[in-house]
Amino acid sequence: MKKVLMGNEAVAYSLFINGVNVAVGYPGTPSTEVIETLKDFQDDDFYVEWSTNEKVALEVAAGASLAGARTVAAMKQVGLNVAADPLLSLSVVGVEGGLIVFVADDPGPHSSQTEQDTRNFARFCNLPVFDPSSPKEAFELIKPAFEISEKYKLPVLFRMTTRVCHSNQSVEFELKREKRKIKGFRKKPEWVILPALSYKKHMELEQKLQDMKKELSVYNKVEGKGKIGIVTGGVSYFYVKEAIKGFEDLFSILKITVAHPLDEELILEFVKDKEILIFIEELDPVLEEEVKLLLFENGRIISTYGKRNGYVPFAGELDVDKVKGIFYKVLSDKRFLMKNTFTDVLQIPKRQAQLCAGCPHRNSFLIVKYATKGQDVIFTGDIGCYTLGFAKPISTTDTCLCMGASITMAQGLKITDGSKKVIAFIGDSTFFHSGITGLVNSYYNRHNITICILDNLTTGMTGFQPHPGTGKKIYGEEGRKVSIESIVKGIGVEKVLVIDPYSDFTQNVDKVREFLNNDQLGVIVFRRECANLKSREGYFKINQNCLKCKVCLNVTGCPAIDEDENGNIFIDSVLCKGCGLCKNFCPYYAIEKVMENE
Amino acid sequence: MNDIIIAGIGGQGNILLSRVICQLFMNRGFDVKSAENIGMSQRGGSVVSYIRVGDEVGPIVPDGKADILIGLEMSEAARNVNKINKDSVVVLNNKFVRPKNSDLKKQEILNLIESNISKFYILNAYDIALELDMPKAENITMLTLICKKEIFPFSKEEIMTALKLVLSPQMYEMNKILVEKIYEKY
């Protein structure tokens, strides 16, 4: 059949077709759809789950692999940092059944804290890494990735970038699953990593990388015969192809699909008759550095252009126009310049990202903000929808670092700036991901901070995945529900308050103000289902009492409230979720509820 | 038509529209590629989809290359004018959601497009979708109008086939009625 598949979907289809037995991951843009798609497949030898975090996921995958199963652990690039601990050890210990670590990198970045490059991680942990250019190619490379993993008994990194993960392409395939027999776990001394064994295994690992080079190099390719050599990989390959359209004779392309280990022979053969080399790659100059090193080692002197000498930007993603610009700069020749099409381009103001209309987090943030009015407070934030708590007019997030860090950074701030109140915000899924250990630390070390767990009963930002707090498993079937309050109390925290952020605003403010009165460790759970998961009972509208004071708009920043070209305030009846938060701030009783059927 | 851009704001069904258009081209036997940004609270934020017909291209439409720009929202269409050229077709939904804290006027956008583009249409997709009691179907309303006005070379039957392949059965039934009504009434 022929189907339009998103890059991540293509990976999922191919994983299933190629007999993956265990698929685990933690959601994170741009990687989420791999597990989301896999969950739609079912078979008696296939298991899929959302794990609590990426380290957990990879360790579950490793266990299954030791029993001979084909496995995948899926995550985004910052998730790989969390899973780095097991991954580096796993490269030494090795695997049994094919294990693919799927990692989505995010040049740009579009929705990440970092622009890190997983190809560098592959160099760091001595593992092979595939770097497909398109959904179609990703689909085709899963099979060899499993085969290499099984042949060399090593995990294989499968790295894609946002524009491959989240682009769509027509792919032709037969939906027929390869069935494999799982041997089951066999005890072997080598599964227990001890220092002496680690040394021996490291030598083996280096040898394996040498051995697999030639085999992996068949996935790289050379195109064209021109004297200007372009070394590229990933989605940049297509940017290059489009940028040289009409001038193909001048160029030749070395497309690197396996970025580590690199096949030296192929590269030396490619550079033989080249006058200059241009490196077109996103994120880190991985190919550039490897190739330059090789040129030096082989006594070759050739002009190179890339990130290292400022021709290619280090930050941000590339596109056809940027690549054309690079070629133009290198070749100093106008023939690559685009005709300028638009002269009087309007500057359209940016749309600032906002919490959704009716988002219960907006209420929670404002409750805490009003309860601490006039006080010197630091608000630490975390990763999720609620990172948007930093946006005006909410402005209740002063820091954001990585998953779980709101709780721990708050402790560091409290130690050094103790006169201030420090309040940490964290979401439910993030609390389970890596908030718990931080909470244990604050209890153990007597850090007197307040932790607000914004529990919207889902993983909102990545598309409503379940987590331990929902008690639902990946298919919505019953797992066991982990109660946030029980964890908090079980650790020993005595001050715990549960609040429905939709309930009476003033009362909630009073409750929180009282709760914050004495400076000791406390946890407030704000619990209300994500507004996008619940159908509304009604919505609000502005009536004739409105004096256009804009308080509703300026305090809440709710996307459903807006001002038209004549300065009239209105509430978008389609967008409004009926939470009624705005009503609390209207001095003129000009906001009234409309029931759904009126 | 090889390169298509859909610009709008989160919640208008931009990505779904992109899927349907991909399916339309695929059903005619073309290879397609498309791309959009997903993530960071897109509800109410800028969303742009690129659709490219052909295999040997990257997912992003280069500047000045788009053959058609479909604006589900006017200021978002204006934000993407660098992707079109004077021969491109521009189709705008008559809907303007001013970016917060700005004093951008609807007329400024219209002036910009009108003075640069000769093939330029404004469609009342939002109003029609509201009138037909499907306020969240601006996307399919827009597509149907574009095809009905023969801006896009697809028939009503082709739209139905594509919708059936892309939508859930329940969504398909609702949208089928919508498409029928639009072909009848507008």
Which tokens belong to A146? 């499993």
pLDDT for position A334: 55
Number of A:B CB contacts under 8 A? 156
Which tokens belong to B60? 């992003």
Interface contact B58-A321, CB threshold 8 A: no
Domain membership flag for residue A52: yes
Give the residue from chain B lying closest to A561, CA to CA: B100
Cα B41 to Cα A375, B10, B66, distances in angstroms: 30, 8, 27
Same domain for A220 and A158, yes or no, is: no
Burial class of residue A283 (count of CB atoms within 10 Å of its CB; 0-12, 13-18, 19+): buried
Q: Which residues contact B48 (CB under 8 A, 6 or more apart)?
A: B5, B6, B7, B8, B14, B36, B37, B76, B79, B80
Same domain for A495 and A555, yes or no, is: no
Residue A342 clears pLDDT 70, i.e. is over it: no
Same domain for A447 and A565, yes or no, is: no
Q: What is the pLDDT of residues A205-247, one digit of tens each?
A: 999 999 999 999 999 999 999 999 999 999 999 999 999 998 9
Phi, psi (degrees; rounded to nearest 5) at A542: -90, 130
pLDDT for position B186: 85
pLDDT for position B173: 95
Same domain for A277 and A370, yes or no, is: no
Mean pLDDT for the stretch of residues A151-178: 96
ipTM of model: 0.90
Domain membership flag for residue A354: no
Domain membership flag for residue A344: no
Domain membership flag for residue B185: no
pLDDT for position A150: 98
Q: Which of the residues in chain B have pLDDT under 70?
A: 39-43
- The model carries a pTM of 0.93
- How many structural domains does chain A have? 4
Min Cα–Cα distance to chain A from B102, Å: 7
Sorting pLDDT into bands at 50, 70 and 90, what band is A335?
Answer: low
Question: Domain boundary at A476, A501, A527, which?
Answer: A527
pLDDT for position A337: 53
Domain membership flag for residue A460: yes
- How many structural domains does chain B have? 1
Residue where the block lists tokens 């296939």: A46
Residue A394 clears pLDDT 70, i.e. is over it: yes
Which tokens belong to A180? 């494999």
Sorting pLDDT into bands at 50, 70 and 90, what band is A348?
Answer: confident
Contact A36, A163 (CB under 8 A): no
Same domain for A501 and A413, yes or no, is: yes
Mean pLDDT for the stretch of residues A152-166: 97
Q: Read out DSSP for A194-240?
A: -HHHHHHHHHHHHHHHHHHHHHHHTT-EEE---SEEEEE-TTHHHHH
Phi, psi (degrees; rounded to nearest 5) at A320: -60, -40
Q: Which residues contact B144 (CB under 8 A, 6 or more apart)?
A: B156, B159, B178, B179, B182, B183
Question: Is the dihedral angle over the CA atoms A217, A220, A225, A226 positive or is it negative?
Answer: negative
Residue A338 clears pLDDT 60, i.e. is over it: no
Nearest to B112 among A29, A346, A357 (CB): A346
Interface contact B40-A319, CB threshold 8 A: no
Domain membership flag for residue B186: no
pLDDT for position A351: 85
Same domain for A550 and A523, yes or no, is: no
Domain membership flag for residue B165: no
Q: Does A353 touch chain B (CB under 8 A)?
A: yes
Phi, psi (degrees; rounded to nearest 5) at A455: -100, 105
Same domain for A276 and A235, yes or no, is: yes
The fraction of chain A above a pLDDT of 90, given in percent, is 90
pLDDT for position B103: 85
Same domain for A251 and A364, yes or no, is: no
How far, in whole angstroms, is CA A266 from its chain's centroid? Answer: 34
A-chain residues within 8 Å CB-CB of B34?
A: 4, 167-169
Nearest to A287 by CA among A304, A310, A300, A301: A304
Residue A341 clears pLDDT 60, i.e. is over it: no
Domain membership flag for residue A204: no
In a mutational test of the A interface, the residue from B100, B106, B168 whose CB has the highest number of chain A CBs within 10 Å is B100
Residue A196 clears pLDDT 80, i.e. is over it: yes
Mean pLDDT for the stretch of residues A22-33: 96
Domain membership flag for residue A345: no
Domain membership flag for residue A343: no
Domain membership flag for residue B9: yes
Cα A8 to Cα A279, A281, A550, distances in angstroms: 26, 21, 44
Domain membership flag for residue B72: yes
The β-bridge partners of B18 are none
End-to-end C-alpha distance for chain B, whole angstroms? 25
Residue where the block lists tokens 């072909």: B183
Q: What is the pLDDT of residues A576-587, one digit of tens each?
A: 999 999 999 999
Burial class of residue A486 (count of CB atoms within 10 Å of its CB; 0-12, 13-18, 19+): exposed
Mean pLDDT for the stretch of residues A420-437: 97
Same domain for A186 and A239, yes or no, is: no
Neighbours of A418 (CB within 10 A): 12
Same domain for A225 and A311, yes or no, is: yes
Residue B86: CA atoms inside 13 Å, Cβ hemisphere, count? 8
Nearest to A20 by CA among A177, A216, A132: A177
CATH number for the domain harbouring residue A575? 3.30.70.20
Q: Order of strands across the sheet with B3-9? A: A2-6, A167-172, B32-36, B46-53, B3-9, B66-71, B84-93, B119-123
Sorting pLDDT into bands at 50, 70 and 90, what band is A340?
Answer: low
Residues 521-560 of chain A whose Cβ lies under 8 A from any Cβ of chain B: 532, 557, 559
End-to-end C-alpha distance for chain A, whole angstroms? 48
Neighbours of A409 (CB within 10 A): 23
Domain membership flag for residue B129: no
Neighbours of B173 (CB within 10 A): 13
Residue where the block lists tokens 């690129």: B50
CATH number for the domain harbouring residue A120? 3.40.50.970
A-chain residues within 8 Å CB-CB of B106?
A: 565
What is the C-alpha separation between A103 and A158, in angstroms, rounded?
6
Contact A598, A539 (CB under 8 A): no
Domain membership flag for residue A409: yes
Residue A331 clears pLDDT 70, i.e. is over it: yes
Residue A40 clears pLDDT 60, i.e. is over it: yes
Same domain for A184 and A305, yes or no, is: no
Mean pLDDT of chain A: 94
CATH number for the domain harbouring residue B39? 3.40.920.10
Same domain for A480 and A577, yes or no, is: no
Interface contact B58-A346, CB threshold 8 A: no
Which tokens belong to A478? 């019953």
pLDDT for position A157: 98
Could you give the residue ranges of the DSSP H alpha helices within A405-503? 405-416, 428-430, 436-444, 484-491
pLDDT for position A352: 82
What is the C-alpha separation between A23 and A100, in angstroms, rounded?
10
In a mutational test of the A interface, the residue from B23, B55, B60 whose CB has the highest number of chain A CBs within 10 Å is B60
Q: Which residues contact B161 (CB under 8 A, 6 or more apart)?
A: B27
Interface contact A168-B82, CB threshold 8 A: no
The β-bridge partners of A424 are A380, A451
Nearest to A144 by CA among A126, A131, A162, A160: A131
What domain range is A124 assigned to?
2-191
Nearest to A287 by CA among A336, A226, A229: A229
Domain membership flag for residue B184: no
Q: Does A354 touch chain B (CB under 8 A)?
A: yes
What domain range is B97 assigned to?
3-124+147-154
Element holding A368 (H helix, E strand): helix A360-371
Nearest to B90 by CA among B64, B112, B114, B120: B120
